[in-house]
């Protein structure tokens, strides 16, 4: 009888521990979302249909914001830009706030170049750079005789990546899971808007409510300073609730 009781105790202890680990993992994913709320092109872990982070990158479209910066480019529709990381490996992003380095090469804001390198040259005219909806890129250059030449650089390629193959790398950058058996596919089933950027694709209120709920189930042994973090989230929820209807976000498991 004592042996049976001991086995039952171990089972429930393990279940509670496993449950805490699951909640802690979800909290970490939601915290990543929170950190990247204002990261252009960020794709959230939060699943609005389930009202929780389920471990997948959700690639729904984010809202578009006009910036009027010539090298900013919003992607509307499916797909990702392909970039080259510092170790020469490939990665993908929808953060189109591109920049031009000292060599005239188009890079992300973090300095990663496009995987198919696009170089504008050293004598390009910044105000002449154009990206069309169909991905074509044009730029004008000036030579030593002050002759201006208009050239097509090629097309800014985008790639179709199913969300189950993606894992978060940093900011709005994603890599392919090592276990994924996937062949990339170029897609033009989208269009580009120059002078615009895509916002992150989740609403803040349901995420912070879910985070608060998770913290209410855990204790200091799992997450330090838990009461302080709950208080910060509570303030955030109260502030958001002044402008947003809260009831649609609390009908799941609260």
Q: What was the pLDDT predicted at 253?
A: 64
Whole-angstrom distance, CA of residue 6 vs CA of residue 252:
35
Q: Which residue has the higher pLDDT, 244 or 59?
A: 59
* pLDDT confidence bin for 252, thresholds 50/70/90: low
Neighbours of 98 (CB within 10 A): 22
Residue 30: CB atoms within 10 A of its CB come to 22
Question: For residue 193, which of 93, 77, 107, 105 has the smallest C-alpha distance?
Answer: 77
Dihedral angle sign, alpha carbons of residues 162, 191, 93, 205: negative
- List Cβ neighbours of 162 (8 Å cut-off, separation of 6 or more): 182
- Tokens 């953060």, residue located: 95
- Higher confidence at residue 12 or residue 114? 114
* pLDDT at residue 10 tops 50: no
pLDDT band, very low/low/confident/very high, at 19 (cuts 50, 70, 90): low
What is the chain's mean pLDDT, rounded? 89
pLDDT for residue 9 is more than 60: no
Rounded distance, CA 210 to CA 46, Å? Answer: 10
Burial-class residue 27 by CB neighbours within 10 Å (0-12, 13-18, 19+). Answer: buried
Q: How far apart are CA 50 and CA 75, in angstroms?
A: 26
Name the nearest CA neighbour of 202 among 25, 77, 80, 59: 59
Place of tokens 């009908």: 251
Tell me the whole-structure pTM to 2 decimals. 0.86
pLDDT score for 73: 97
The confidence band for 183, taking pLDDT boundaries of 50, 70 and 90, is confident
Instruction: Look at residue 46 and tell me whether its pLDDT is greater than 60.
Output: yes
pLDDT of residue 251: 66
Question: Where residue 6 falls among pLDDT bands split at 50, 70, 90?
Answer: very low
What's phi and psi for 116, nearest 5 deg? Answer: -90, 95
The more confident residue out of 73 and 243 is 73
Query: Does 215 have pLDDT greater than 60?
Result: yes
Q: How far, in Å, CA of 196 to CA of 68, rounded?
A: 6
Phi, psi of 151 (to 5 degrees): -135, 150
The model's pLDDT over 83-139, given as tens digits with 9 standing for 90+, comes to 999 999 999 999 999 999 988 999 999 999 999 999 988 889 999 999 999 999 999
At 247, the pLDDT band (50, 70, 90 cuts) reads confident
* CA dist 159 → 108, 116, 144, 225 (Å): 16, 12, 38, 42
Name the DSSP class of 29.
Answer: H
CB 93 within 8 A of CB 40: no
Q: Which of the four pLDDT bands, split at 50, 70 and 90, describes residue 222?
A: confident
If residue 177 lies in a helix (H) or strand (E), which one and from where to where?
none
Position 250 scores a pLDDT of 67
Task: Output the CA angle 109-155-71, nearest 5 degrees.
Answer: 30
Q: Taking residues 28-39, report their average pLDDT.
A: 97
State the pLDDT at residue 20: 81
């Amino acid at each position: 009888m004592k042996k049976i009781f001991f086995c039952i105790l171990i089972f429930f202890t393990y279940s509670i521990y496993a449950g805490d680990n699951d909640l802690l993992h979800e909290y970490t994913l939601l915290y990543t979302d929170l950190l990247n709320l204002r990261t252009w092109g960020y794709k959230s872990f939060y699943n609005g249909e389930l009202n929780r982070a389920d471990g997948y990158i959700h690639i729904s479209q984010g809202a578009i914001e006009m910036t009027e910066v010539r090298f900013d480019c919003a992607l509307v529709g499916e797909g990702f830009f392909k970039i080259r990381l510092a170790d020469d490996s490939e990665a993908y992003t929808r953060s189109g706030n591109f920049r031009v380095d000292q060599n005239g090469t188009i890079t992300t804001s973090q300095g990663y170049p496009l995987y198919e390198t696009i170089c504008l040259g050293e004598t390009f005219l910044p105000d002449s750079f154009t990206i069309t909806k169909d991905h074509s890129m044009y730029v004008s250059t000036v030579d030593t005789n002050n002759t201006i030449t208009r050239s097509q650089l090629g097309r800014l390629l985008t790639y179709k990546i199913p969300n189950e193959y993606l894992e978060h790398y940093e900011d709005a950058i994603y890599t392919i899971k090592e276990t994924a058996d996937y062949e990339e596919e170029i897609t033009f089933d989208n269009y580009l808007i120059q002078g615009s950027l895509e916002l992150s694709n989740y609403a803040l209120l349901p995420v912070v409510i879910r985070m608060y709920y998770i913290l209410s189930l855990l204790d200091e042994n799992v997450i330090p300073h838990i009461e302080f973090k709950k208080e910060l989230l509570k303030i955030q929820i109260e502030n958001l609730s002044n402008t947003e209807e809260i009831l649609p976000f609390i009908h799941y498991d609260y």
